[in-house]
Amino acid sequence: MKQSPLFVRKTKEGASLKRWFKEKWETSDGKEDYSETDENTFRPTVKVSKDTPSTWKQLSDSEIAAAKEEKNKKGRVSKYDKTQNA
């Protein structure tokens, strides 16, 4: 019997992984794969729960630009925190 790709163990980590699959992560260009674009910053497009990170629509243009710059310099983006920009 073949298992669904969303089959995960019934743990906190398993629930987080299941949520992650439902969020549909994409680049700001709407691409789902690194090979399709030069953009390398991914965000969820669907808000599944309160634990879902900010979606592209929830971020300002300046936050997106700062994230792209940080990704290119450090190789990763730290967590988006609305209080840091205030």
Write the pLDDT tens digit of every residue in 20-36: 888 888 888 888 877 76
d(CA 19, CA 46): 10
Judge whether 39 and 27 are in contact, CB under 8 Å: yes
Residue of 32, 51, 52 whose CA lies nearest to 42: 32
Alpha-carbon gap, residue 56 to 61, rounded angstroms? 9
Q: Name the band, by pLDDT with cuts 50, 70 and 90, for residue 10.
A: confident
pTM higher than 0.75 for the full model?
A: no
Domain-by-domain residue ranges, the chain?
A: 12-31+39-74
C-alpha angle 30/22/8, rounded to 5°? 135
Share of the chain above pLDDT 90, in %: 1
